[in-house]
Structure 1
């Protein structure tokens, strides 16, 4: 255990990652402040020293993961003209699903006070699905200008369909059951980008 009074580097991320492991292993019911600090190998009071309580902690975890996901989506602009449009989008969508595991998203749904704090964070401007959708649309427009997407493709609707599918998978996916996300997203992109020109050799 970390010695009392010693500053722990990246404490927030350490606690967030510990909470994700606890929920993945024990479900939302197993998430307590003591379970998180024990998993993070920290003192029992550390979580309450840095957060007003478990509900604020859960809200901050969800907001942090959405912000991280939005940054991943925004990084698509660095992939314009590289690989294929479908490959670039699929890699980011799968990364989003990895950064927002269903167990974590479900946390806020099972704790009304955490859900309220999360909504307040989004209303205050924290990145959410709209930021991810905007990043998808901007990337698709750039690829369209580059001639890698059909000129008449509805990039805004493609972005909306992708974000809607991500939202659906986050809310309903049960790991190990049903089709793998790679299969679902690959099939969706084949339909959405069916008229796109092939990648440059």
Structure 2
């Protein structure tokens, strides 16, 4: 535990990382301010020194995850010309289904006040699914310019299909259900192998 009155470097990141560990280990039901600060090894009230309330913390936690996903998706256009289009799209799509994805989705849905803050942040321009979709479309257009994807392909529609499917799989994930990664791989393979 940190001594009272002693500043902790990177406290917000420390709290977010602790929350992610809790989500991965115990699911969204275990996430409380006390559990997060305990997992982070800091004073119980520290979270409230940095966030107005727990819903604000949850909103920032989810938005942070989307910023990381959007940053990873921004790297996708640089993959144009490397591996196959299907392999690149699959890798990009599977990144959206990381180990904590279903827990983050459940967490956002379970807390309406946090959800409202997330929606408002997206309206203000924070990266969300639309940013990720735009990066996927940019990647596909880059492949078109290289001649690896037909000019007739609607890159926006293909990007929407993949990102929307990943979102659907996240929102409908249930313990013990089939691995959503296999379903996403199947979608990308079907899109890649379809005939004009």
TM-score computed with the length of structure 2 as normaliser: 0.91
Larger displacement relative to structure 2 (13-22 or 134-143): 13-22
- 2:30 corresponds in structure 1 to 30
- Structure 1: how far apart are the matches of 2:55 and 2:11? 18
Matches within 5 A, 1:1-201: 1-98=1-98, 101-178=101-178, 180-194=179-193
| Alignment deviations for residues 111-142 of structure 1 (CA, whole Å, 9 cap, x no partner) | 11111111111111111111111110011000
Do the aligned residues in 1 keep the contact of 2:102 with 2:171 (CA within 8 Å)?
yes
Q: Which runs of 5+ in 1 are unaligned?
A: 197-201
Alpha-carbon shift at residue 6 of structure 1 (Å): 3.5
Say how many residue pairs are matched: 195
Separation (CA, whole Å) in 1 of partners of 2:100 and 2:35: 20
Q: 1:17 to 1:183 in 2, by over 3 A?
A: same
Aligned partners of 1:102 and 1:171 also within 8 Å: yes
* Rounded Cα–Cα distance in structure 1 between residues aligned with 2:175 and 2:74: 26
Unmatched 5+ stretches in structure 2? none
Deviation at 1:99, TM superposition (A): 6.9
SS of the counterpart of 2:138?
A: helix
Report the Cα distance in structure 2 between the residues aligned to 1:131 and 1:168, rounded to whole angstroms: 17
Return the alpha-carbon distance in structure 2 between the equivalents of residues 93 and 129 of structure 1.
12
CA distance in structure 1 between the partners assigned to 2:149 and 2:101 by the alignment? 31
TM-score by length of 1: 0.89
Aligned to 1:199: none
- For the 8 Å contact 1:149–1:195, the answer to whether it is kept is no
Residue 98 of structure 1 aligns to a residue in which SS? Answer: coil
Structure 1 vs Structure 2 CA RMSD: 1.8
Sort the Cα spacing of 1:93 and 1:9 in 2 relative to 1 into closer, same or farther, 3 A. Answer: farther
Question: C-alpha distance in 2, partners of 1:11/1:113?
Answer: 23
- String of CA shifts for 1:78-126, please: whole Å, max 9, x gaps: 2111111111121122122217521112112111111111111111111
